[in-house]
Amino acid sequence: MSVQTWTYILVGITFALYIGIAIWSRAGSTKEFYVAGGGVSPLANGMATAADWMSAASFISMAGIIAFAGYDGSVYLMGWTGGYVLLALLLAPYLRKFGKFTVPDFIGDRYYSNTARIVAVICALLVSFTYVAGQMRGVGLVFSRFLEVDINTGVIIGMIIVLFYAVLGGMKGITYTQVAQYCVLIFAFMVPAIFISIQMTGNPIPQLGMGSTLNDGSGTFLLDKLDGLSTELGFNEYTDGSKSMTDIFAITLALMVGTAGLPHVIVRFFTVKRVKDARKSAGWALLLIAILYTTAPAVAVFARTNMINTVSDQPYADMPEWFSTWEKTELIKFDDKNGDGKIQYVADVKLNELTVDRDIMVLANPEIANLPAWVIALVAAGSLAAALSTAAGLLLVISSSISHDLIKKVLKPEISEKGELWAARGAATVAVVIAGYFGIDPPGFVAAVVALAFGLAAASFFPAIVLGIFYKKMNKEGAIAGMVVGILLMLFYMLKFKFGIFDGGKAAVAGLKESWWFGISPEGFGTVAMLVNFAVSIVVMQFTPPPPQNVQDIVEDIRIPSGAGAATGH
């Protein structure tokens, strides 16, 4: 059977599974819609968290970035995994003990202010919409290649699927759907990695295969081979970095603290019965995430080596079928500048004739390696599972921020539970449409868009959450001022250097790195904005009244281990 037929079969089966789970687990109350009734087991919650966490950026883009950036791409591995550990150990148990449905709910109650709640809602919407744009683009990429529809149509199909189970099932439907999606995505990521590792090095473990010798009898190590291929074409050595240490540090820290402030991941810890279950599910999730994250560098090495060997200095007329198929999506482009009919793939942009979108590397990897059609289709199904699982979690954050934190807590406190549930579903519907628009016209490749979301979360939520848990004298004035200044500073920097809004596009032009403040890229500027947030919060606090004693007592209570195993009743 053809790749397209296999794709229809596997994607059809997985979509039917997701929809079936959504119907079976549809939410009948706001508690089921927001936190799945608070009764999910640690293992199931760990799998759902892992699926929520491993988005299209993790599945599709991360290995693509590492494939092209080499050592420099490791910042995403360090930042995202380190950030999850930070969240699991430093914040999740305390937030669970506080017992609120959402991050804005925590901030609104901890800082005894509806103004703080509204600021947090706005921040949650900015973070979530930026993040979900990357997921919808990932969905569009997969559909455009494997089902041979244009990217915009692919995004619309993805919107309809997500809308169905996110709106019908809420967190309850999303949780059990994500358990299935984790199984699909991890199987889809590992199978081709194992096949290609055996094919290239004879080692069935990709993590070890990456550091093994090639099985061509040359005795050359795979990474040495890739270093040689890269330098021959004028690129940096694959295992050497070109980014400044300042920018590497800034991006890694922004991704770490941004992770710890991501509302769609934090809310997962409210779906278990007890605080100790939150800790257990965090441990399970970390183990399950590590399977993919330790494999991604190997996939990047395999894909980069195979691609260079396949296309570099080869006649365009002799390119395999996968090349022409990806050309139709315009994610690979060949421009024969010297007219010799051969593909010249080099670092010099004036001479280079091949443009490759880094987001296709994981998707095209099985095709480049000439694996069976069912494996290629499996990767398509897995990448859709990754994108849709995270998109659903983000849409829930958006809908709960509007229905619970804005409508229920601020605008219309007397609203009935049924009315709130309908408001949540209506907000999710509107959010899907807006997310689809961003997916059709995103500001960059998937992981870059997602990295900006982490910067926004770092700049806004992380200081407010940390100070709210560990500094009982932090007051509402300080927290509000810090969040507002942090998010505005990050937005300004993002719009200036990513979109060129404030200077006619000059600062956003690729290569004008000298205009970055402190030499820090937009993906890393969340670190600076976070530090400014902390500073503003603490300074403003010094000149404003302390929080009420009852609030200080609550903060003291959530940090006391006694009774930590009991549910809070929320």
- DSSP codes, 362-429: HHHHHHHTT--HHHHHHHHHHHHHHHHHHHHHHHHHHHHIIIIIIIIIII-TT--HHHHHHHHHHHHH
Contacts of 223 (CB under 8 A, 6+ apart): 210, 211, 238, 239, 301
Q: Do residues 344 and 337 lie in contact, with contact meaning Cβ atoms separated by under 8 Å?
A: yes
Give the Cα separation of 4 and 1 in Å (integer).
8
| CB neighbours of residue 205 within 10 Å | 15
Closest CA to 343 of 306, 305, 367, 308: 308
* pLDDT recorded at residue 168: 63
* pLDDT recorded at residue 565: 47
Q: At what angle do helices 74-86 and 446-470 cross, to 10 degrees?
A: 30
Please say if the pLDDT value at position 171 is more than 70: no
Please say if the pLDDT value at position 541 is more than 80: yes
Contacts of 182 (CB under 8 A, 6+ apart): 47, 48, 50, 51, 54, 288, 385, 389
Measure the CA angle with vertex 463, ends 460 and 469; round to 5°: 130
How distant is the alpha carbon of residue 267 from its chain centre?
15
Most confident of 392-406, 516-530, 548-562: 516-530
The tally of CA atoms less than 13 A away on the side-chain side of residue 50 is 27
Contacts of 130 (CB under 8 A, 6+ apart): 438, 449, 450, 452, 453, 456
Least confident of 1-5, 223-227, 456-460, 528-532: 1-5
Please say if the pLDDT value at position 242 is more than 60: yes
The tally of CA atoms less than 13 A away on the side-chain side of residue 286 is 15
Mean pLDDT across the stretch 444-451? 58
What's the DSSP call for residue 91?
I
- Write out the two tokens for 436: 């689809």
Q: Do residues 14 and 45 lie in contact, with contact meaning Cβ atoms separated by under 8 Å?
A: no
Question: Which pLDDT band, with edges at 50, 70 and 90, does 356 fall under?
Answer: confident
Query: pLDDT by residue (tens digit) across 116-144?
Result: 989 988 888 888 877 777 777 777 777 77
3-state SS, residue 153:
helix
3-state SS, residue 29:
coil
Higher pLDDT, 26 or 417: 417
| CB neighbours of residue 189 within 10 Å | 27
| CB neighbours of residue 566 within 10 Å | 12
Please say if the pLDDT value at position 164 is more than 80: no
Please say if the pLDDT value at position 269 is more than 80: no
Mean pLDDT across the stretch 203-226? 88
Closest CA to 484 of 501, 461, 468: 461
| CB neighbours of residue 474 within 10 Å | 27
Q: Do residues 511 and 562 lie in contact, with contact meaning Cβ atoms separated by under 8 Å?
A: no
Mean pLDDT across the stretch 427-447? 71
Give the Cα separation of 457 and 262 in Å (integer).
6
Q: What is the dihedral of CA 262, 265, 271, 277, to 10 degrees?
A: -110
* pLDDT recorded at residue 206: 92
The tally of CA atoms less than 13 A away on the side-chain side of residue 130 is 27
Give the largest CA-CA distance in the chain: 78
Least confident of 172-176, 297-301, 408-412, 500-504: 500-504
Question: Which pLDDT band, with edges at 50, 70 and 90, does 532 fall under?
Answer: very high
* pLDDT recorded at residue 475: 94
Give the Cα separation of 402 and 428 in Å (integer).
9
Please say if the pLDDT value at position 530 is more than 90: yes
Please say if the pLDDT value at position 159 is more than 60: yes
Please say if the pLDDT value at position 317 is more than 90: no
Higher pLDDT, 196 or 453: 196
* pLDDT recorded at residue 235: 83
Question: Which pLDDT band, with edges at 50, 70 and 90, does 205 fall under?
Answer: very high
Most confident of 243-252, 341-350, 424-433, 543-552: 543-552
- Write out the two tokens for 105: 């709910």
* Cα-only R_g, the chain: 24
Domains along the sequence of the chain with CATH: 3-25+42-210+224-232+266-558 (1.20.1730.10)
* Dihedral pair phi/psi, residue 457, rounded to 5°: -65, -40
What percent of the chain has a predicted confidence (pLDDT) above 70? 88
- Write out the two tokens for 415: 């609203």
Amino acid at 472: K
Alpha-carbon separation of residue 532 from 212, 538, 540 (angstroms): 45, 10, 12
Alpha-carbon separation of residue 132 from 124, 162, 434, 552 (angstroms): 12, 11, 10, 36
Question: Which pLDDT band, with edges at 50, 70 and 90, does 515 fall under?
Answer: confident
Mean pLDDT across the stretch 93-121? 83
Contacts of 390 (CB under 8 A, 6+ apart): 51, 52, 53, 54, 55, 56, 131, 132, 135, 264
Name the average pLDDT for the chain.
Answer: 81
Please say if the pLDDT value at position 295 is more than 80: yes
3-state SS, residue 294:
helix
Mean pLDDT across the stretch 260-265? 72
Least confident of 25-29, 434-438, 535-539: 25-29
* pLDDT recorded at residue 505: 53
Alpha-carbon separation of residue 25 from 22, 101, 175, 381, 448 (angstroms): 5, 19, 9, 22, 34
Q: Which residue has the tokens 């996110």?
A: 166
What percent of the chain has a predicted confidence (pLDDT) above 90? 13
- Write out the two tokens for 28: 């009948």
The tally of CA atoms less than 13 A away on the side-chain side of residue 541 is 22
